[in-house]
Structure 1
Amino acid sequence: MASDAHGAEEGGLVFHPMDQFIVKPLFGDGAVAWYTPTNMTLWLGFAILAVIAVLVLSTSKRAIVPGRGQSVAELAYGFIYKMVEDICGKEGVKFFPYIMTLFMFIVCANFLGMLPTAFTPTSHFAVTAVLALMVFFTVTILGFVLNGTAFLGLFWVASAPLALRPVLAIIELISYFVRPVSHSIRLAGNVMAGHAVIKVFAGFAAIAVISPVSVLAITAMYGLEVLVSFIQAYVFTILTCVYLKDALHPSH
């Protein structure tokens, strides 16, 4: 049976959609250590450069009639600023630079990952987990700094019957510590799934009979992934605002 499987692999259509997510050294084929420059490092750097290009370089010569780059930067600025203000209130505006940077980094990394032969850093849980943990610790520390022990009121549902409050407190506490897990997996999972599906359809494009259907499927999925790239950055950012609101107003 093993020889049959091997023969089928040699003569049939074989592709590995998950290979695109492998972290590889930029130089050589050795093991990857924490200090090794990798494809992940390269595309994280490209994402940072893209943020600088959009927010800094394109707005360096501010014009009354903005160009394309300045228009994109201004639209992103207004969009995120209104989100922060609507969800967190005026007190949350001071954290706008952090949230804006977070959104722009994620959306640039997602869009760069749509380029042919590109590597998508946000498809890795290691990257999204760091971003989510940064939000989690920032919100938790800020909550205690601003509110003291009153921040613990976030877990005590005062409107519920007294007998249910201890049970609800445990549930609220568990859901609070699960936040960074769901926050990070949602982003990485959606990005990875979309890229893997595109790779599968691309593999079928080698078969002449179904090649036209495969190309149409790839085009449709690519368009969907462009939308998903923005939506996932938006969802990550709006959840960050919701968590920040809990730190600023734990009693609401």
Structure 2
Amino acid sequence: MAAAQQGSELAIHPMHQFLIKPLFGGDTIHWYTPTNQTLWMGIAILCVYLLLVVGSKGRAIIPTRAQSVAEVAYGFVYKMIEDIAGKEGLKFFPYIMTIFMFVVFANTLGLLPIGFATTAHFAVTGTLAILVFVSVTMIGFVRHGLGFLQLFWVTAAPLPLRPFLALIEVISYFVRPVSHSIRLGGNMMAGHAVVEVFAAFAAVALISPLSILGISAMYALELLAAFVQAYVFTILTVVYLKDALHPKH
């Protein structure tokens, strides 16, 4: 009996934290059902609004803490777009800035003890990646027409190789949303799962100190990853935008 009880105490279910549940009870989820996922995405959007709109509305010469953070984020994303996509890319700054801030807040809110990791779900990261893919493709065709197809024609390669390289370029282009979403979702899911595993061992007296150290180290790493993964997702978006604005190889 004691062994069975101890076994149940050490049961590790690291994926249970990612279960999507209706907010108001029940087991059935429809497309219109409010869930814990929609709640925390809404909180992330609210945080973006509070920081960038409410926190910066004073535009004081001596900025408040919220305004300082907003200005740092603004300058960071602005410089990223300018360096990669050039001055033309700055027209799309509001779109890129919104993506970056949403992913940052969604990542960090998932680290709260009562939080829910929305960006650990491929439905969320996949939707973001598809929106980026569709938007930059539309921008490419609107700006260049059929000239956008130059993106797939490697003029620097010998002529006999160009058709084969074009096929590879087309395949890699359509794989972009998959890699774009999996990179963010996979990293968020893996990190949270590892923290959960360390937390399960905290109940064992002999290894509890080591488990707490492991949790602390992983939590710090996850906090860093929350910002790094938001940066990676955003910079890839800007790279794809650059290809749409300047499709020639």
* The two structures share one fold, judged by TM-score above 0.5: yes
Residues paired across the two proteins, number? 247
Of 103, 119, 130, 1:133 maps to: 130
**For residues 96 and 62 of structure 2, what CA distance do their matches in structure 1 show?**
27
**For residues 216 and 133 of structure 2, what CA distance do their matches in structure 1 show?**
37
Specify the alignment match of 2:41 in structure 1.
44
**For residues 6 and 118 of structure 2, what CA distance do their matches in structure 1 show?**
34
Specify the alignment match of 2:78 in structure 1.
81
**For residues 238 and 204 of structure 1, what CA distance do their matches in structure 2 show?**
37
TM-score (normalizing by structure 2): 0.97
TM-score (normalizing by structure 1): 0.96
Instruction: Give 3-state SS (helix, strand or coil) of 2:160's partner.
Output: coil
Deviation at 1:9, TM superposition (A): 5.9
1:240 to 2:207 alignment? no
* Counterpart residue identity of residue 183, structure 1: H
Deviation at 1:62, TM superposition (A): 1.6
Specify the alignment match of 1:97 in structure 2.
94
CA deviations on 1:80-104 (whole Å, 9 max, x unpaired) are 0000111111111000000000000
Specify the alignment match of 2:145 in structure 1.
148
**For residues 23 and 30 of structure 1, what CA distance do their matches in structure 2 show?**
10
Deviation at 1:29, TM superposition (A): 2.4
**For residues 23 and 132 of structure 2, what CA distance do their matches in structure 1 show?**
30
1:223 to 2:217 alignment? no
Deviation at 1:11, TM superposition (A): 3.6
**For residues 55 and 196 of structure 1, what CA distance do their matches in structure 2 show?**
31
The alignment's C-alpha RMSD in Å is 1.3
**For residues 140 and 126 of structure 2, what CA distance do their matches in structure 1 show?**
21
Within 5 Å, give how 1:51-200 maps onto structure 2.
51-200=48-197
Deviation at 1:30, TM superposition (A): 2.2
**For residues 41 and 17 of structure 1, what CA distance do their matches in structure 2 show?**
21
In structure 2, list runs of 5 or more residues that go unmatched: none
* Counterpart residue identity of residue 182, structure 1: S
Deviation at 1:63, TM superposition (A): 1.1
Identity of aligned residues (%): 67
Deviation at 1:67, TM superposition (A): 1.4
